[in-house]
Structure 1
Amino acid sequence: MNERNTLAAGFWTRATAVLTDLLLIAVVVSFVASLASKWGQYIPIEMTVIVCYAVYTTIAIAWKGQTLGGWMCGQVVSRNDGGRLSIMQAACRSILTALFLLLLGLPFLVVAAKPTKRGWQDVLTSSSVHRLPGCKRATAWTTLFWLGLLAWISLDAIAGSRFYLTYRAWNADAVASAESRVAHEHTPIEATSLTGEQKAELAKWLASHAQDPAAYTIDIAARHQITLLGETHGKKQYLTLLNYLIPELYQRAQVRTIALECCRADQNDDLARLMRGETFDQELAKQIGREAVWNSWAWQGYWDVLKTAWQVNQRTTVAKEKLHVVGIAPSVDLPSLALVKYGPCTEKLRLFRLLSRLEAFSHLAFHDAFYASCVERAAFEEGRRTVVWVGAAHVHLPCSNQRNQDGRVVSVSHRMGAMLFGRYPDQVAQIVLHQKFSLGEIADVIEEAAPSQFSTGFAFPIADSPFAHLRDGGSSVYFGRIPNLRFSDLVSSYLFLVPEHELETCDWMEDFVTPHMFGRNKPFYEMLFGQKLQSYHDANQDMSAGLMSM
């Protein structure tokens, strides 16, 4: 090689070459993985891309001294003396480059910082990257590549930032509402400190003030534009109640929209088509369930809700507005999130998949604001009275920032309920269904005080009840962080059907997991069931047996 006719390749052209190769390999691997998933075969995309990149660049550099990306950028890799790299040198260089990619490419910055434009992979393998003279396409491709990448990142970042502003607006409403709430005059009472006499008084109060759960819910919904029902996921009694309530809510409370956390907002066209059908499309309902954000929301009771709503519309005259069902969940990759947090090391590379869509990532990070926006659209922009069926943690009332025992301000992360209450304080109602996850010892007290005459359950308002000033003692997230927080700060109405240990898990939808679902997220299902799975049949069998471990 004539050194007078060569120049060391700079940082930007080298980065362009690497990213070009990586992008092309990612496209091919993703296509092959998509095809394989249709037959239930799993290919770990991110790890496969890295391995294929190392193999491809090893062969290409040892053979021709350049990859396709290097050819596009007009650069060639050679030994320091100008000769071609051996297969071992090329392999070491490619492996080092692949490892640097796993570190978000940060080690490549050495190339930009050093006058010689040589990175660690160059020094350790006694190699250099040179720019070929007279290659006009190099500058054009490098410029085009980075302009395209910058445009894509900018558009995605703008969309993500726009939604962050939406979250800020919702959160500001929740904060303002929390700060405006009147301070309590009574000292909070630890649920564990209650005496037998005090518990007897609570039971006596419930016996005279508790109401029928269905009638109470219908009355609340009839007086509010939005009613939030906070459930524990997958409990048969709760979904049986919802399926019973839907026709009554439509007829007696004039509810026109059922908003479901288990459905995605971008499925609303499919949901509308399902609700309008002359016959109930069972396959479409099952497909909507399979596309839920967790890819594992297989409890049959939720998808019975769709049929119940459809039946309401079948009995409705043409003159009356039909019942709508809408999803409020964002379209995000929750299996990948779970694998990044709890999965094996190879699956933590899915972080790159999550970060590749900044707008979707912002929806994930601020999902309660996304929920609130969807509910607002249905209830106020479209003007339909709405009942929202969602996990109980999402419906908590606004809690102001307070000081903990160390005197430091505790910042509370506001949920969908707090956001909606903050913006529409007189038009939003909340009912929490009995659960111990966030209420702990308070739920135990209510179970003990449950009046025997209400065999089908009961409901009651919290604010003026003797339960209002109870606190959990610190076993849950909210009570543990805020010493003077009490029951009425989080919950306005409570609905009890049976003690928590009597709540039954819903039946599972048959053949829920398809080969394609299994082929996309096999490690997620293995993590979900705590064991190795050979096929989608194993996942369906474990699901039917209730072996879910998350």
Structure 2
Amino acid sequence: MRFSLLFFITTLLISCNSTPKENFRNPLLPKDYIIKKFQNHDIVLLGEDHGVKEHIEFIQDIIPHLYRNGIYQIGMEFGAYEMQEQLDELLIADEYDPQKTKDLFFFYNVGWAFLEYHEIYHKVWEFNQTLTAQEKKFRIINLSYQFHWDKFDMNDQEESLKEVFHLGEIDSFRCEIVKDQVINKKEKALLLVGTPHAFSKFLHDASKPIENKNCPFVDTYLGHRLYDEIGDKVFTILFHQGFLGTKENNYKSVSPANGRLIEMIEKKHIGKIGFDVSRNIANLTDNSALSECQPHLKLGDICDGYIFIAPLNELTGCTIDASYFSGKDYKTEVYPFIPDPNWHKPPETLGGYLGQIRRYVDLEERYGEIE
């Protein structure tokens, strides 16, 4: 009996000490990781740093995998609910209409000329063509509404922004869309949104109020609102990306967790991988601009999971569709509707605007100084 007890204790200690330290012992491919998260969650928020070609191609490729596992829809930030019926028709039409795709994106954002995002529509259409008439079709849900940037007045920003966002605070609106289209129907969905909109638990702890006025984020993003609705049925995953830096480095992008996360991944020589941000990984310190919102910030405070496709210096920007503006009069159909004129002065010519769009997806400029 004494020998058996000693053997049990020794075995337990060995087992505890041999537990994987970095969650990489049994790595999952990113697509398999996302599917696994849907076993216990209804909404998976996938936070992206916009315009990364490899990440959007991943979304294109995962569509059949989602469908086979009972997830029949992707929600996308870059689409207007006013065009939902037209989008539904496009995705089940007998013939695919690439011009209609461009028109739908243009309606939401006159500058979203990126082929890889457009190709998501095409891939969904292609997949739906493989289904019988009786089978449920895969959908894309437009999460946003059309912003009226032509109403913006630089000299009266506060009041004019109310006209721009004429249907109210955008993430509150998006939450209502998700409730109506997914939650109330007791379905599941993958939501592709910009990283801050994917935050669910981060900054949402009433015991840790945001006190630093330099915090560039808020606690009312889409993920926060969905977490209030369905709690732990929400799961936040981030694509590998640079985090916003601080004033000390002129707000240039920095490596997540002060570079320690990528060190751990490269040390294990792991390729594409999806993993939980837990245990040792969760305890990695992060001193990016996010830390100005919460002292002693750890990676586990920011997100629940992480997807690594490639190192930052191997990622590329999305491709610009040269025909996106064909047939459009720049001065009347494009210029007045260019988003965020309070952040970036709209160029006077189409050539100037195309240059601005190219710089937006120049990842060498975006990530080039990350060590």
Q: Provide the TM-score with structure 1 as the length reference.
A: 0.53
In structure 2, C-alpha distance between the alignment counterparts of 1:306 and 1:454, rounded to whole Å:
34
List alignment gaps of at least 5 residues for structure 1.
Answer: 1-200, 341-346
Letter in structure 1 aligned against 2:332? G
User: How far 1:533 sits from its partner (Å)?
Assistant: 3.8
User: How far 1:405 sits from its partner (Å)?
Assistant: 8.4
Contact 1:526 1:533 in 2 (8 A): no
- 1:415 corresponds to which of 221, 225, 243: 221
1:118-170 CA-to-partner distances (Å, cap 9, x unmatched) read: xxxxxxxxxxxxxxxxxxxxxxxxxxxxxxxxxxxxxxxxxxxxxxxxxxxxx
Letter in structure 2 aligned against 1:379? V
**Alignment-derived partner of residue 112 in structure 2:** 297
In structure 1, C-alpha distance between the alignment counterparts of 2:312 and 2:361, rounded to whole Å:
19
User: How far 1:202 sits from its partner (Å)?
Assistant: 12
In structure 2, C-alpha distance between the alignment counterparts of 1:380 and 1:405, rounded to whole Å:
33
CA distance 1:516–1:421, shift in 2 (3 Å)? same
**Alignment-derived partner of residue 59 in structure 2:** 242
Tell whether 2:286 aligns with 1:472.
yes
- Where 1:450 maps in the other structure, the secondary structure is helix
TM alignment of 1:19-418, pairs within 5 A:
205-251=22-68, 253-292=69-108, 294-334=109-149, 340=153, 347-348=154-155, 354-356=161-163, 360-361=165-166, 363=168, 366-398=169-201, 399-401=204-206, 402=208, 413-418=219-224
In structure 1, C-alpha distance between the alignment counterparts of 2:149 and 2:357, rounded to whole Å:
18
1:150-205 CA-to-partner distances (Å, cap 9, x unmatched) read: xxxxxxxxxxxxxxxxxxxxxxxxxxxxxxxxxxxxxxxxxxxxxxxxxxx99962
Q: Percent identity?
A: 19
CA distance 1:203–1:498, shift in 2 (3 Å)? farther
User: How far 1:434 sits from its partner (Å)?
Assistant: 1.1
In structure 2, C-alpha distance between the alignment counterparts of 1:393 and 1:526, rounded to whole Å:
17
Letter in structure 1 aligned against 2:142? G
Tell which deviates more after alignment, 203-212 or 233-242. 203-212
- 2:318 corresponds to which of 485, 494, 506: 506
- Where 2:231 maps in the other structure, the secondary structure is coil
1:459-484 CA-to-partner distances (Å, cap 9, x unmatched) read: 11113x202123323x31x3213214
Tell whether 2:273 aligns with 1:458.
yes
- Where 2:22 maps in the other structure, the secondary structure is helix
**Alignment-derived partner of residue 305 in structure 2:** 493
CA distance 1:403–1:310, shift in 2 (3 Å)? closer
Tell which deviates more after alignment, 366-375 or 507-516. 507-516
Give the helix-richer structure, 1 or 2: 1
Contact 1:206 1:451 in 2 (8 A): no
- Where 1:389 maps in the other structure, the secondary structure is strand
- 2:234 corresponds to which of 401, 415, 428: 428
In structure 1, C-alpha distance between the alignment counterparts of 2:19 and 2:257, rounded to whole Å:
12
1:271-327 CA-to-partner distances (Å, cap 9, x unmatched) read: 1110120011111101011112x3211111111000111111100122321111110
In structure 2, C-alpha distance between the alignment counterparts of 1:485 and 1:266, rounded to whole Å:
39
Letter in structure 2 aligned against 1:519? T
Contact 1:525 1:539 in 2 (8 A): no
In structure 2, C-alpha distance between the alignment counterparts of 1:386 and 1:525, rounded to whole Å:
27
In structure 1, C-alpha distance between the alignment counterparts of 2:270 and 2:319, rounded to whole Å:
23
Q: Provide the TM-score with structure 2 as the length reference.
A: 0.77
In structure 1, C-alpha distance between the alignment counterparts of 2:257 and 2:99, rounded to whole Å:
42
Contact 2:35 2:66 in 1 (8 A): yes
CA distance 1:530–1:367, shift in 2 (3 Å)? closer
**Alignment-derived partner of residue 69 in structure 1:** none
**Alignment-derived partner of residue 448 in structure 1:** 263
Over the aligned positions, Cα root-mean-square deviation in angstroms equals: 3.5
In structure 2, C-alpha distance between the alignment counterparts of 1:255 and 1:278, rounded to whole Å:
23
In structure 2, C-alpha distance between the alignment counterparts of 1:212 and 1:443, rounded to whole Å:
24
Contact 1:262 1:329 in 2 (8 A): yes
In structure 1, C-alpha distance between the alignment counterparts of 2:95 and 2:355, rounded to whole Å:
30
Q: Count matched residues.
A: 329
**Alignment-derived partner of residue 522 in structure 1:** 335
CA distance 1:248–1:205, shift in 2 (3 Å)? same
List alignment gaps of at least 5 residues for structure 2.
Answer: 1-17, 245-253, 367-371
In structure 2, C-alpha distance between the alignment counterparts of 1:355 and 1:530, rounded to whole Å:
20
